[in-house]
Copies of this chain bind each other. A is one copy, B any other.
Amino acid sequence: MSNESTQHWVLTLSCPDRPGIVHAVTGVLAQHNGNITESQQFGDPLTNTFFMRVEVATTTDANRISVALAPVAEEFDMTWRLDAAGRPVRTIIMVSKAAHCLNDLLFRQRAGDIPIEVAAVVANHMDLKPLADFYEVPFIYLPVSKETKTEAERELVRLVNDLDVELVVLARYMQILSDELCSELSGRVINIHHSFLPSFKGAKPYHQAHARGVKLIGATSHYVTGDLDEGPIIEQDVERVDHGRSAEELVTLGQDVERRVLARAVRWHAEHRVLLNGQRTVVFK
C-alpha cells in the first residue's frame, strides 16, 4: 500500500567502513524515487566506523523502503534507523527550581523550533508548575530524598514506559541519576552541565571557575552515563567574562549559555543528527 503524496524521511546509520556503502544505500533510495535533500557522512579512521545521515523525499512509504534497505543493512552490518523527518520525539523534561532551561525549551517547542512533544515535566520541586501549566504540559511532582531515591527512579522508568518516552532531558535537574538508571536509559538522557567540560566537574562549577580566574565560562550538553560528567559531549559554548564578575554574576551570565547549548543538543538529537561514536559523538549539523 503506497502513499502517493511526497513524504520526508531521515535515515541514520553506522557500520564498519568499507567501499560501496554510499552507493548501495543511495541505490535503494533511487529505486524508490527518493530524492536526497540532505546528506552527510563521516568515516572515523580511528574506529574504522562509517556514519551517515540522509534526508530523502519520496512518494514510497517507509515500509517498502525499510524492506528494501534490510538486506543492504545486513550486508554491511549496519545499525540503522528510518524515521519521518520532523516527527516530534516524545520527551520528558526533568527540572528542580531553575527556570531558564525549561522556559527556553518550552518556548522553542511551541515556536516549532525543536521537534519534541513534551509528555511531561517531572520535577522534584513545585516551583516550576506555573510555567508548565502556561505551556499546557503535564507537571509531575516527584520529590527525591535519600530514602525515596530508588522508588523515585522506578517511578520515572514507569513514566518513560507508560508515556512512550524516547528522550529524557535534564534541564538543570539537581539530582544525580543512579548507575542502573543511566544504563537503562543509555543514549536517551541528555544533561546540561554548567561548565566547559572537562573543566570544573562536580558541584558549583561557576564558583570553581571564578576561583581559578578563567576568562571564559562555558556550558556542555552531553549524554548521561554512569560516569558523572564524563558522557559523550553533544555541544559546548562559551561566554567571555572578566575579573570584575563575581561568582554569582557568572551564574547569571552562564544561564544564557546553558539554555542555548541545551536547546541545540535537544534539537539535534530530536532531528537524529547525533550519532554515538564510542565515548564521542558525531553531530551532523
CB <8 Å contact, B252 and A113 = yes
Chain B neighbourhood of A30, CB < 8 A = 19-20, 23
Q: With CB as the reference atom, state the residue of chain B lying closest to A56.
A: B19
A43–B44 Cα gap in the complex (Å)?
25
Contact bitstring A263-285, B, C-beta under 8 A = 1, else 0 = 00000000000000101111101
CB <8 Å contact, A216 and B199 = no
CB <8 Å contact, A43 and B37 = yes
CB <8 Å contact, B256 and A233 = no
Describe A's contact surface by its main secondary structure.
mixed
Within 8 A of B (CB), among A2-31: 17-20, 22-23, 26-27, 29-30
A163 within 8 A of B: no
How many whole Å from A212's CB to the nearest CB in chain B? 6
A124 within 8 A of B: no
How many whole Å from A96's CB to the nearest CB in chain B? 15
A242 within 8 A of B: yes
Known pairs A233-B215, A237-B216, A280-B213; A22 contacts B22 (CB<8 A): yes
Within 8 A of B (CB), among A194-222: 196-200, 211-216, 218
Known pairs A214-B233, A242-B283, A243-B283; A23 contacts B27 (CB<8 A): yes
How many whole Å from A21's CB to the nearest CB in chain B? 8
CB <8 Å contact, A18 and B35 = yes
Interchain CB contact (< 8 A) of A199 among B27, B198, B283: B198
Contact bitstring A157-180, B, C-beta under 8 A = 1, else 0 = 000000000000000000000000
Chain B neighbourhood of A107, CB < 8 A = 99-100, 103
A132–B224 Cα gap in the complex (Å)?
36
A34–B23 Cα gap in the complex (Å)?
11
A214–B199 Cα gap in the complex (Å)?
11
How many whole Å from A12's CB to the nearest CB in chain B? 14
A235–B244 Cα gap in the complex (Å)?
14
CB <8 Å contact, B22 and A26 = yes
CB <8 Å contact, B22 and A34 = no
CB <8 Å contact, A281 and B243 = yes
CB <8 Å contact, B214 and A236 = yes
Chain B neighbourhood of A99, CB < 8 A = 107, 111
Chain B neighbourhood of A134, CB < 8 A = 130, 134
A27–B30 Cα gap in the complex (Å)?
12
How many whole Å from A222's CB to the nearest CB in chain B? 9
A109 within 8 A of B: no
Interface residues in chain A, defined as those with a beta carbon under 8 Å from any beta carbon in chain B: 17-20, 22-23, 26-27, 29-30, 33-45, 99-100, 103, 107, 111, 113, 130, 134, 196-200, 211-216, 218, 232-238, 242-244, 246, 252, 256, 260, 277, 279-283, 285
